[in-house]
Amino acid sequence: MNFRVSYFWVVLFLFGWCVCSLYGEENGVENTVKKEKTSSFELLLKRQTYDFAPYEYTSLTKNPPPNQTSNTGKLSQNSKVLIPFVFSYENYKKNYRLEISYFEMEIVNPNSLVLRTDGNQISMTREYLKPVTRSELKANAYLKFPFGKDWNFYSGGGIRNINKYKYGNYLGEGAFQEYFFTYGPQLSIKSVYSITSEIQFSVGLDGFYTQGNRFVKDPILNSQTFTLPIDTAGTEGIYRGYELDLSLSYRFAENFKFYIGYNRIESKFSYLHFHQINVNYSNSQWNGNDFSLSGFPSISKPIQSGNFETLKGFYLGGSVHF
């Protein structure tokens, strides 16, 4: 068990123990009839394992040259353990719920085998994608609709912010090569069913649309090539998709729950107003101090079309109510 995971469980346990002790002390002092709560806060921490298939992977073999076909294998080195949080407030008397959550996912060395056929020639290479980071922040407000004693239905919406970084080697530094800052509305529903007084099953679904600016670091330079992007202004990025969350929770103390669940975020990413042209030099010389160009440049126009990004995986979690 690595340090981050150990730290997660230790912090969650200590926080839960403090809260439970506080409530136990209050009950011992009062020693009166227990009052029904009208509202509560909940802090949920997850040990989430995500598999991330970015746009760059799903687009790897799209739009191949004429008379050529390409197929990708399974993406490797694209998994990571995260510690996302969900903080919520629920008012039982007025039947509403507020919720905010955040996570950040980074894959450093994703790669896949690519099989290409061109006439009678067949080649197989391992393609390495650039490091990619995607972060998501969302805030929701729900109205609660009780259906009997054991079933509660929540309906609402909010705002979602999706940021994405694609890193490259800019003048020998690890600066970003492309960055998107997008935000937009989302509609959300959630269903919570109490199997027993301690066990609950929950299903949540968000549908979202985000749009925002694209930032590009130029020029792009490594030891052998030099690329100068032209006409990059005005380009934006769009995410359209959904998030599905399934969980089973067990309340083993008055203010403490254990969760096991599955989360999937499926989104289609596309460029808007993309008119970029690349000026490429294939014979550049750069040794860290001196830089020179030789030969004639070539001009290319990248083709960017919509394709999917997927994050999916199971999680364990614990929450504290106070």
The pLDDT tens digits of the residues spanning 252-297 come to 988 899 999 999 999 999 988 877 777 766 655 555 555 555 556 6
Residue 225 binned pLDDT confidence (cut-offs 50, 70, 90): low
Pick from 24-38, 126-140, 221-235, 263-277: least confident: 24-38
Summarize pLDDT for 309-318 with one digit per residue, the tens: 999 999 999 9
Given a cut of 60, whether residue 215 has pLDDT beyond it is: yes
**79-82 and 96-107 as β-strands: parallel, antiparallel, unpaired?**
unpaired
CATH of span 3-321: 2.40.128.100
CA distance 259 to 45: 9
Given a cut of 90, whether residue 23 has pLDDT beyond it is: no
The answer to pTM > 0.85 is no
Given a cut of 50, whether residue 98 has pLDDT beyond it is: yes
Pick from 89-98, 143-152, 170-179: least confident: 170-179
Q: What is the pLDDT of residue 170?
A: 43
CA distance 245 to 311: 12
Given a cut of 50, whether residue 30 has pLDDT beyond it is: no
Q: What is the pLDDT of residue 1?
A: 45
Given a cut of 50, whether residue 26 has pLDDT beyond it is: no
Pick from 21-30, 84-93, 225-234: least confident: 21-30
Classify residue 48 as exposed, middle or buried by CB count within 10 Å of its CB (0-12, 13-18, 19+). Answer: buried
Those residues with Cβ within 8 angstroms of residue 171's Cβ, 6 or more apart along the chain or in another chain: 221
Q: What are the two backbone dihedrals, phi and then psi, of residue 276, each rounded to the nearest 5 degrees?
A: -65, 140
Given a cut of 80, whether residue 41 has pLDDT beyond it is: yes
Residue 150 binned pLDDT confidence (cut-offs 50, 70, 90): very high
